[in-house]
């Protein structure tokens, strides 16, 4: 009997299956430094203890997207080790914020299954929950992933596709405990534009581009203990459709978040992700650009120091975004688009 683990294939999943993921991860300041080195994020709330403490927090919290990566990485060996691609996200809610010294664990439930018509792959829907050392939820989200079958003759399960919300309600957004933005320092934050300065329908070209190196995207994926083979094993990928290692989709999300600072510098927290899609693969050597559209803005119940903006950020590869590349009149996406992310941010008033 082998002692190694080959990971789950599509036929190994069952509806309602509960999965407790290894390994607990204690987050350190070193992890945060590595993350900043990889993406260059400049959001003040995540950069300076003094800034965070002046806003009522105990110290600088992790960037919410980094929290997402750590929880996501826990799920990969059980959910997507044999994945073809991660397809999308929904109902992503950031709960208790994570600080250096916190320990993260994760659990998942299979909430949907649908075999593809080729009989060789299927889509698995899971709801995953990240917990801290006190059992508090730090993240709760749904994702769906295309997974290979090992036994093509295995019978297809009854197709179940979960009914997912179109967006997270503003009333359900979790405000960081103790947060008070009434004395927010816009000079130190690096942007003068606050909640009232944005309008629905506004489009922002974030201007900057970042070229991805092979070593960097592999270091990033290892940082999150994400073991998906498509990111690491060139021998395996040489026989794939693209013949190359794919960049982890979350790497693009982090780059887009970092790039968005130029235009959304006071979007100090990602409160929820309503939906997201990795539209096309990216590879080492590609240069990522981004632009955003303000989809909605809302008061946060009981708060006069902050508001919520619903943002849609589009990431492109090898194409600047001055012309806001998106879908054409034929509803086909511009071939440069690699990421389409719809999310709520918290911003001072």
What are 53-68's pLDDT values in tens digits? 999 999 999 999 999 9
pLDDT score for 328? 79
Residue 271, in any domain of the structure: yes
pLDDT score for 327? 87
Q: What is the DSSP string of 237-254?
A: HTTSSSSSPPPPHHHHHH
Say whether 336 sits in a helix, a strand or coil. Answer: coil
Residue 168, in any domain of the structure: no
pLDDT score for 167? 96
Residue 160, in any domain of the structure: no
Low-confidence residues of the chain: pLDDT under 50: none
Q: What is the pLDDT of residues 9-33, one digit of tens each?
A: 999 999 999 999 999 999 999 999 9
Say whether 329 sits in a helix, a strand or coil. Answer: coil
Residue 170, in any domain of the structure: no
d(CA 296, CA 129): 27
Nearest Cα residue to 199 out of 310, 319, 331: 310
206-240: b (≥16 Cβ within 10 Å) or e? bebbbebeeebbbebbebbbbbbbbbbeeeebeee
Say whether 43 sits in a helix, a strand or coil. Answer: coil
> CB atoms < 10 A from the CB of 47, how many?
18
pLDDT score for 11? 97
pLDDT score for 331? 83
Residue 2, in any domain of the structure: no
Residue 155, in any domain of the structure: no
Domain that holds residue 68: 10-149+189-348
Measured CA angle at 69 (ends 219, 34), to 5 deg: 40
> Which CATH number is 314's domain given?
3.10.129.10
Nearest Cα residue to 347 out of 93, 207, 170, 205: 170
The structural domain count of the chain equals: 1
pLDDT score for 44? 98
CB contact set of 31 (below 8 Å; sequence gap of 6+): 66, 100, 223
Residue 167, in any domain of the structure: no
Residue 223, in any domain of the structure: yes
């Amino acid at each position: 009997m082998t002692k190694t683990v080959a990971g789950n294939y599509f036929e190994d999943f069952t509806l309602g299956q509960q999965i407790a993921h290894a390994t607990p991860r204690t987050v350190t300041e070193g992890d945060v430094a590595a993350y900043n080195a990889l993406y260059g994020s400049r959001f003040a709330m995540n950069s300076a203890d003094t800034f965070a403490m002046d806003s009522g927090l105990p110290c600088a919290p992790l960037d919410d997207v980094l929290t997402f990566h750590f929880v996501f990485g826990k799920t990969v060996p059980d959910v997507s080790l044999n994945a073809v691609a991660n397809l999308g996200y929904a109902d992503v809610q950031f709960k208790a914020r994570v600080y250096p010294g916190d320990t993260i664990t994760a659990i998942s439930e299979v909430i949907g299954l649908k075999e593809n018509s080729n009989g060789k792959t299927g889509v698995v829907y899971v709801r995953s929950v990240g917990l801290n050392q006190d059992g508090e939820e730090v993240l709760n989200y749904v994702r769906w992933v295309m997974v290979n079958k090992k036994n093509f003759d295995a019978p297809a399960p009854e197709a179940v596709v979960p009914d997912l919300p179109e967006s997270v309600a503003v009333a359900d957004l979790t405000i960081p405990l103790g947060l008070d933005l009434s004395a927010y320092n816009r000079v130190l934050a690096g942007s003068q534009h606050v909640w009232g300065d944005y309008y629905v329908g506004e489009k922002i070209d974030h201007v900057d581009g970042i070229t991805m190196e092979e070593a960097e995207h592999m270091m990033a994926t290892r940082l999150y203990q994400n073991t998906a083979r498509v990111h690491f094993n060139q021998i395996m990928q040489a026989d794939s459709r693209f013949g190359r290692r794919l960049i982890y989709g979350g790497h693009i999300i982090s780059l887009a978040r970092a790039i968005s600072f130029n235009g959304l510098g006071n979007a100090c927290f990602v409160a929820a992700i309503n939906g997201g899609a990795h539209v096309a693969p990216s590879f080492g050597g590609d240069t990522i650009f981004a632009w955003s559209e303000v989809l909605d803005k809302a008061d946060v119940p009981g708060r006069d120091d902050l508001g919520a903006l619903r943002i849609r950020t589009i990431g492109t590869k090898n194409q600047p975004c001055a012309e806001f590349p998106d879908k054409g009149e034929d509803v086909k996406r511009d071939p440069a688009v690699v990421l389409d992310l719809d999310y709520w941010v918290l911003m001072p008033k």
